[in-house]
Chains A and B, each alone.
Chain A
Amino acid sequence: MTTIRTLVVAYLVLQFGLGVFVYLRRRAKGSADYVVARGSLGMFVLGGTIAATQLSSATALGDVAWTAAYGIGYYFLVWPFLWLGYWISAKWVARKMHAFGERAGGITIPDLLAARYDSQRLVRGIAAGILLIGFLFDFGVQFRAAGLVMGDLFGMKQVLAVIIAAVVFLGYTYLGGLLSIAYNDVIQICLFVVAYVVGAFFAVHSAGGVSSISAALQKQDASLLNLFGSHGLGFWTLIGLGISITLQFISYPVDTMKFYSAKNRRHLLSGIGIAFVFQGVIAFAVIAIGLAGRALHPRWTVDQFDNLVPTFALTSFPPLLGGLVMAIVIGAVMAVSSSILLTLGSALINDLYIPLAKPHMPPEKRLGATRIGVLIIGAAGTLFSFVNLGAIATVINNVLQVLAASFAVTLLFGMSSRKPNRLGAVLSMVGGAAGVALWILLGSPWGLAPSLPGFALSILGMIIGIRLGHPVPEPNLHAFFPSSQATVNTQMAATEGALGED
């Protein structure tokens, strides 16, 4: 246990130290540098940070539990839908977003939507508001998860564990901004791969090897090895789940923000592919650990399987590996939470406070204001983590579905067609969020994922808006649908004026 605790402490010190290192070596020159580190991330770092932000504690613990409970089909079928979501984003959103960032100085998603829909206050305000409300819940429960794991591991009170975790990741985010987050994420994802791949070998070995696991699962329930669904989760349920996941990752805001940071478009598209490789390797290890756990614990429920990884780490793995796995579980929470913190801090200051209260704030003061925004969000999230908002996986899933239904249509349609307009964007975002919330309140009838009716309402809102609203002015559209390079340069200058300077 001492080795495990030492490794976890060493990992937390490493993360904080990296934030201090980035602060001392490459201090941010402005809020854009701090929030998106424009043009700084090569494909490997970009891929690492995208994967680390997507692979939260939900993967490290929850997906292992689902694979153990429902079999290999859950991952085999659903994981490619995740990549489909990223591919749609890469094809229609990422490159235009990157170009917009380079030419017009955009640093947030509301920046992009405000310019595309010619609405510096309404569309920007609604987008920022949905991000803030949705992610604050996510942030609170992720943080709560870190507190629970650390509290159990060190035998300390949850309040103290949460405060220690907060000091570490709030510290490295406050000091180094996106660059610090990205470097920490790369270390996290590399250690995640090593810990889970080696952990999978030990888990399979402790269950008697591949043949023994296979025989045990055939005896328990042969459908656990069916690639197209099991008795617990059938084919069509998995397809519905997969579509919902595709929608979530077309516009996963904390990953989408990082498209601004790529060195160039080659690094941007390749970086997304490198994220797939990290995700694929870890997912494969998750399957092996989950099925080995199922062979060893045939009577466990899905809730009990949530403890499968910590159980392996503390009882079956060598101390060094066990410590690494526990550090990774806590690090997974920190990776997501730090990206959320920066996204929300910049949304609070750059999309709400400055446009609404201080539109003439000089550029040199915006960096300090953004850092204060990060601190405010960090404090709010820490307080939120002390409130029991419900099961961790359920809250995270609900938040992701609200965000998916709010932003997928507005971003995807807005970047791929000239027709979507301001009214359409407003109705689409509000309709999507309201549709998901309503479906959750109704108890998700017919087992349908809430993002699906939310997405349908979001599309309906966009269509109504296009019919009833006014077209977006040409200068705004030219920024995203150039007829020639010369036009782009001219019209981007017009958009720059609308965005203000930073």
Chain B
Amino acid sequence: MSLGIALGVTAVVWAICIAAYFIWAAAATRRDIEGGAKGSER
């Protein structure tokens, strides 16, 4: 494998990892807010 390809694959895989985290974090924050709102209604 050439260095260029190795660096390219690394960049893409790491970017996917970080993007997956942000997607999860957004969903978790939304759930927290909704959960908090339901809790207050009770």
B-binding residues in A (CB < 8 A): 72, 75-76, 79-80, 83, 87, 90-91, 95, 210-211, 213-214, 217-218, 225-227, 265-266, 269-270, 272-273, 276-277, 280, 283-284, 287-288, 291, 482, 484-486, 488
Supplied contacts A91-B24, A210-B4, 10 more A-B pairs, CB within 8 Å: A72-B6, A80-B17, A211-B3, A211-B4, A214-B3, A269-B25, A270-B22, A273-B22, A276-B17, A280-B18
Contacts of B11 in A (CB 8 A): 284
- 5 smallest CB-CB distances across A and B, nearest first, come from A485-B39, A214-B3, A269-B25, A266-B29, A214-B2
In angstroms, how far is the closest chain A Cβ from the Cβ of B24? 7
- Please provide the chain B residues from 3 to 41 with a CB less than 8 Å away from any CB of chain A in the complex: 3-4, 6-7, 9-11, 13-15, 17-18, 21-22, 24-25, 28-29, 32, 36, 39-40
Contact B22 A76 (CB under 8 A): no
* Smallest Cβ-Cβ distance to B11: which chain A residue: A284
A interface, by DSSP: helix, strand, loop or mixed?
A: helix
- What are the residues of chain A within 8 A of B28 when measuring CB–CB? 90-91, 95, 269
In the complex, which residue of chain B has the Cβ closest to the Cβ of A288?
B7
A79 touches B3 (CB 8 A): no
Q: Give bound CA distance, A384 to B36, whole Å.
A: 47
Contact, CB under 8 Å: A273 / B18: yes
Docked complex Cα distance between A488 and B3 (Å): 54
Asked if B10 and A276 make an inter-chain contact with CB atoms under 8 angstroms apart, the answer reads no
- CB A255 to nearest CB in B, in angstroms, measures 15
Q: How far is the CB of B5 from chain A (nearest CB, A)?
A: 8
Of the residues A76, A90, A280, A484, contact of B25 by C-beta under 8 Å: A90
Q: List 26 A-B contacts (CB under 8 A).
A: A72-B10, A76-B6, A79-B14, A87-B21, A95-B32, A210-B7, A214-B2, A218-B2, A225-B1, A225-B2, A227-B1, A266-B29, A269-B25, A269-B29, A270-B22, A270-B29, A273-B18, A273-B22, A273-B25, A276-B18, A280-B18, A284-B10, A482-B39, A485-B36, A485-B39, A485-B42
Known: A265-B29, A265-B32, A485-B36. Contact between A225 and B3, CB under 8 A? Answer: yes
